Amino acid sequence: NKGNHRHFMEKEIYEQPEVTAHALGHYIDFTQNRVDTVSGIDFARIPSLAIAACGTAYLAGLIGKYWFERYARLPVEIDVASEFRYREIPLSPRSAALFISQSGETADTLASLRYCKGLGLKTGAVVNVGDSTIAREADAVFPILAGPEIGVASTKAFTCQLAVLAALAVGAARARGTLSEDEVQALVKSLAEMPRLMGQVLNSIQAEIELLARELSKSHDVLYLGRGTSFPLAMEGALKLKEISYIHAEGYAAGELKHGPIALIDENTPVIVIAPHDRFFDKTVSNMQEVAARGGRIILITDEQGAAASKLDASHTIVLPAVDEIIAPMIFSLPIQLLAYNTAVFMGTDVDQPRNLAKSVTVE
C-alpha cells in the first residue's frame, strides 16, 4: 500500500524519520543517552573489522568505515562482496566481519560471510529481513528495522543501515575506550536528534527539489562530489540517479576531480557538490571553484553555515540545517534521494521497478 504517495520509493523516503528512530532505539537508550552494550561482537578485543556488501549497502559500509576508524580507532577492510571473497585478504581469525544486506539474500554477500566463517572470524549481519539466510548464518544479527522496502532503489534501508553502523561505531568506541564519556554522550545526543531533523528537511525541500529535478532530467551526465563521509554519499547519489532515471552519473572524491574527471566539465554537465560545513568544507569549496572556472553548473548541497561561508556563485544551493558531523550523511541523503526520485518521475521511468534490476540478487 502506497498510501497517498505516487510510488513506494516516495513513501519509503518519507518514512525515514520514523524508521531511523526505530532503528536507533534498538541500540541506544535515549532516556540515559547511552549506547547499549552490543552483544555478539567483542569490539574491545578485535584487532580489525572486515566489511563486505554490494551496491547501496556497500556504500553504507564505506561510511561506516570512516566512523569505526575515527571514533573507535578500529581499522576496517572493506570491499564489494564480489571482490572481497576472491582477494585472499590476509584476515586474522581474531577479527570480526560485518555483512550488510537489506534482503539478507545477496549471493556475493552470503558467499563472503561463509568465506569469513570458514577462516574463523566472528560474523555479524546488518540486515533488514530478519529471517533471511545471511541473518541465520551469521554469529550475531544487527537488525536495521526499516520495515519492508518495496522500491527497487534502496532508500530507507540505506539510512537505517547508516543509523545502525553509527550506533555500533559509537558502541565500539565506548568498549575500546577511544572516546571520553562526554564525547560518547555528545554523539549519542546528535543521533537522538537525527529523526526529527530528517522530518524537518523532508517538509522543507520538496518544491525546490522538483525545480532542480526538471533541470537535471535534461542532462546526459551528472557528477557528484564529496569529501570524507560525503564521498560515499556522492557515489550513492550517482547510483540512485542512474538506476532510476537512466542518466549517466558518477560520484567522485572532490580531491580526485583534477586527476581526470575535470576533463568532463562543460556547461552541460551539472556537478552536485555535497558539502556540509565540516572539517573539509574549505577544501571542497576550492574544488568547486575549479568546476566553476570551467563553466560547470554547480548544485551545492550544504548547510546554513556552509551557505554563508561559500562566497562562490553556485547555480543553485540547497540549504539544510547545520547538523553534527556524525548525522550529516543521513540528513544529506534526503536531498540526494529526492533529487533522483523526482528526476525519474519527470522522465517517466518505472521508478519502483527500473529496467534490468531486481530487488534481491541471488546469483553471483
Give me the least distance between CB of 229 and ligand F6R, in Å please. Answer: 18
Q: Which residue in the block uniquely carries the three cell numbers 543509523?
A: 163
Q: CB-wise, 113 or 328, nearer to ligand F6R?
A: 113
Strand ranges of the sheet holding 297-303, from the earlier edge strand across to the other edge = 248-253, 221-226, 270-274, 297-303, 316-320
Cell numbers at 332, concatenated = 544529506
In whole angstroms, the minimum distance from the beta carbon of 111 to ligand F6R comes to: 12
Give the Cα separation of 227 and 332 in Å (integer): 13
109 to 51, 228, 277, 280, 348: CA distances (angstroms): 10, 25, 35, 32, 33
Least spacing, CB of residue 37 vs ligand F6R, in Å: 26
Nearer to ligand F6R, 135 or 300 (CB): 135
Q: Which residues contact 257 (CB under 8 A, 6 or more apart)?
A: 225, 287, 290, 291
- Return the number of the residue (106 or 230) whose C-beta is nearest ligand F6R: 106
Give 46 or 162: the residue with its C-beta nearer to ligand F6R: 162
- Return d(Cα 173, Cα 71) in angstroms, integer: 6
Query: Can you tell me the distance from the alpha carbon of 191 to that of 308, in angstroms, rounded to the nearest whole number?
Result: 25
Nearest residue (CB) to ligand F6R, 55 versus 143: 55
**Of 148, 151, 150, 188, which Cα lies nearest the Cα of 168?**
188
Task: Give me the residue whose beta carbon is nearest to ligand F6R.
Answer: 55
d(CA 337, CA 327): 16
Rounded CA-CA distance 215/298 in Å is 12
Q: Which of 117, 242, 283, 359 is labelled catalytic?
A: 359
Q: For residue 174, what is the enclosing H or E element?
A: helix 156-176
Measured from the CB atom, the residue of 101 and 333 that comes closer to ligand F6R is 101
Nearest approach, Cβ of residue 94 and ligand F6R (Å): 27
CB 103 within 8 A of CB 126: no
Cβ distance to ligand F6R smaller for residue 106 or 287: 106
117 catalytic, yes or no? no
DSSP symbols for 311-364? -S--SEEEEEPP--GGGHHHHHHHHHHHHHHHHHHHHT--TTS-TT--SS----
Q: How far is the CB of 109 from ligand F6R (least distance, A)?
A: 5
Name the residue among 112, 3, 62, 56 with its Cα closest to residue 359: 56
- Quote the least distance from Cβ 150 to ligand F6R, whole Å: 11
Grid coordinates of 280? 573539509
User: Which chain residues interact with ligand F6R by CB under 6 A?
Assistant: 54-57, 101-103, 106, 109, 153-154, 239, 243, 360-361
Cell numbers 550488510: residue:
100
Q: How far is the CB of 234 from ligand F6R (least distance, A)?
A: 15
Helix-helix angle 55-72:156-176, to 10 degrees: 20
Q: Which residues are catalytic?
A: 359
